[in-house]
Structure 1
Amino acid sequence: MDFQFDDDVIEYMVDFFGRRKLFDDIKCLLKTIVAHKGQVSSKALSICIRFLGREGRVDEALSLFDEMESVFGCKPDNLVCNNVLYVLCKKQSSEEMIELALSIFHKIESPDTYSCSNMIVGLCRLGRFEAALEIFRKMDKVGVHPTRSAMNVLIGDLCLMSSKEGSVEKVKVTNTRRPYSILVPNMGGNRAAIQPAVEVFSAVVNSGLLPSTYVVFRLMSELCRLGNTGEALKVLRIVEEKKLTCVDEGYSIVMKALCDHRRVEEAGKLFGRMLEIGFKPKLVVYNSVISMLCKLGDLDNANGVFEIMNKNRCTPDSLTYIALIHAYCECKNWKVAYELLMEMLSLGWIPHFHTYNLVDSLLREHDQFDLSVKLERKLENQKLLKLCKEGQLDAAYEKVKLMLENGVRLSAYARDTFKHEFQRSGKLEIAHELLEMTQRVHEPQRVQETKKLTELD
């Protein structure tokens, strides 16, 4: 009938068939149009290439791209090239495909955001970061910006490369009769990769973009790991200026790094700023600051931070107490060390043997034998409670026997808990004799305590 479809109708039909994966029908449609001297637009062909790529039919997509000029008389534009690069770089990444993608990319007169972004992602997947950075720098010069996903991939992969420990160095051993060389793992990772990551981050921020929260955290964490806290602080300031919700976590990452590297002045300023602007520091921040101050022997400020922590209702953990206890033991302050350890035990935290032994030795050194006995009793009762709550009844039974043999008195709460757990598990008869023994041991002690109180009256 010599009727010619216009471009919009053909593009709609190609899209319709592509969504339903009717690729044979698309071929038939395109051949029919060409056979009747019709015109196929580059947009219709780009739609077809995109759907073929999504289904993994890469060879067919490339064949269609090659036939554009010879069969359809249509010159590839940016839209077509972008879809081909998407197929080659994102759907089928390999050295062969990337080389083909680069040859297509270099033929584009004015690469746009999507052309460059597809190439960056594909090159990063194969670890060709130098080529990816070269494309990014050219984009920056001409004012073309990458997509957010490409930016995340580039910065994230550079940080990952920086943290990898797979690289090795050749070291020559000369202190033997016959010198030889060995390969030693580079435990510091590839430090050279972090600077380009910072460069990309600064460039995209200046253009008004910002990577994802995950990538920002990864960048700050890697900078802190490498001891580059100055750059990490710059990234944190940018995050704060943009008023992102991740700023609180960013403060925690940088604060921990500053404390680990004992950058006291910077850590103090940053901690003060957190409190000033209303942030509630996390437990890891408080622990880092207290640990740093304790190691430096600044117990006044460490105690001040501990008070702020309690005021802000941040519950301390065993690490908080251990840092303070060791610091007070170092300066021979047995009273505070004992009080802190007793408080720690009251909260259910069981100290390491070294921590307990340090306080116990300090008490004995200052002739505080009564407090030493009290501390031992508290510790043993807490261990018993822990075993009971964890359901380790056999171990709890042996623990009570050992406590009785060593003359350590059970607290009323520990005894009741022990009895309750055995009763609940139907094993009260087994523990009955042991409970009677604890009662016989406790009775004389109660009488003795009553006599002492009467004498005092």
Structure 2
Amino acid sequence: MLSSAFKRCWPQNTSAIKFQLISVSLYSTLQPISAPPQLQDLCNIVTSTVGGLDDLELSLNKFKGSLNSPIVAQVIDSVKHEAHTRRMLRFFLWSNKNLSYDLEDKDYNYALRVFAEKKDYTAMDILLGDFKKEGRVMDAHTFGVVAESFVKLGKEDEALGIFKNLDKYKCLIDEFTVTAIINALCSKGHAKRAEGVVWHHKDKIKGVLPCVYRSLLYGWSVQRNVKESRRIIQEMKTNGVIPDLVCYNTFLRCLCERNLRHNPSGLVPEALNVMMEMRSYKVSPTSISYNILLSCLGKTRRVKESCQILEAMNKSSVTPDWVSYYLVARVLFLSGRFGKGKEIVDQMIEKGLVPNHKFYYSLIGILCGVERVNHALELFEKMKGSSVGGYGPVYDVLIPKLCRGGDFEKGKELWDEATCMGVTLQCSRDVLDPSITEVYKPKRPEKTNVVDSSKVKPQQKLSNYLERMKMRKIAAWKKKMKKKSAAS
């Protein structure tokens, strides 16, 4: 939940620049066209699961309707979530062969973006070859999508190779394409290679420096390289680019995750120093900044510091959100502080914060995992009182847990309650049957018989003694053989 909240804040700070044009959104950009009668026939042929690719082409050859560029693009758009990519590729290549040069560059670009979305390297490679062979023009948006797909597939060399040869695809190396390859490389932590692109194309990125620095900072943070991340921050200040909240949160995340592995005791002091630096540049930390720290504190089970940070947030101008309370309650429940954890949840409710159903579902799952079903039931009552919805997964956790613990009566009560509310349950009704469901009874380790242990102990001592004597004889023999070899 913290990760998703952090990611949501990222694009809000980059929307002011033109880099949005090469974002990785892969939605269709096709204009709505009235569907001709033959469109459905082509879609049925491509999505058919009968026969192989050669059979597909034979069926396409029997197609008697009129074929044009808009229909080809519409078929690709209609079947991209249903048909296999290789069938779509064969259809597209067949269309190109039949239409000759009637297929437009925008159709090629759209098809390439679809195959990049599907992460089909072979299909992408074939179309890229056709781009060069037929002299097609690749647009900047398509290059951005292709570059990111290549990097996600672990083929960053191929992504850089396309970038260096963009002239063969009749695509300009400008601020859009340069920023696209930098962003693609940094998304998987290849910050050093991205800095090489920056060095060779400084003149192209003068207008998008803030975006480039954010990408580089994120790239180094993926590697948890605090030294290089700090260097990027200093370089930004030197070049007159003041780091904003996103930059500092990225650096803070890098620092906390590094300390989580190598210096847990330095989590709080070093994170607070960064927040102090933020304030000196008139960048106020938000709940997301503190949640990054709370998340790492929870992973290392530092309960006292987590509670202190939440208390400090309440006393300062930073208002905790429900994620903050979740992170503290989670570490309290995991460490066995159930009373304090319940207080934290009550405190959140008193402040009027309304979390989504994932808050309750996650905490209830933790309580069931540590065998505190009664606390889980109490928390479920609070969930129903807040009317957040999403009760189905919680019922699916609680009912089997109660029945396997022997409380079939309460399990039946929750089942009837869910049925009355119209909640669809995924668990089987058989779980309510005591003759089917095996009741889990925790077993204590059996005590060793005193008489048996007295017999076993001398035998073990004798065995250990014989083993030691054997090892000594072997060592003495090796020593003797070594002396003989040296004398000879």
TM-score, reference length from structure 1: 0.41
Structure with the bigger RCO (C-alpha within 8 Å, sep 6+) is 2
TM-score, reference length from structure 2: 0.38
